[in-house]
Amino acid sequence: MNLLVISDSHGDENAVSQAVMDNPDVQGIIFLGDGERDLDAAYQINDFAKVRAVSGNADMASKKKKKAILSVMGHTIF
């Protein structure tokens, strides 16, 4: 499984878009916070990839959790 990990985009939706376009074969996107709204670009480009996101310290109004534990192909990601 190919995962794309993104963080700290801080309003640079173009950077998120470019990262997703540069990795068309990803099956999952993990966003580590600080620019949660920038994920809208990722959904528009790759709507089939599963997206997991946590809030960062700059995501003030976020309702997302600050941490998560994922199990991916027998590996645990915190």
42-65 pLDDT, tens digit per residue, is: 888 887 778 888 888 888 888 888
Q: How far apart are CA 17 and CA 41, in angstroms?
A: 5
At residue 9 the predicted structure's pLDDT band, cuts being 50, 70 and 90, is very high
User: Given a cut of 80, is residue 13 above it in pLDDT?
Assistant: yes
Vertex 39 angle, CA 35 and 44, to 5° = 155
Report, as an integer, the average pLDDT of 15-22.
92
Look up the pTM and report it: 0.83
Residue 65 token pair = 């959790």
Position 33 scores a pLDDT of: 87
User: Given a cut of 90, is residue 15 above it in pLDDT?
Assistant: yes
CA dihedral of 27, 30, 34, 37, whole degrees rounded to 10: 40
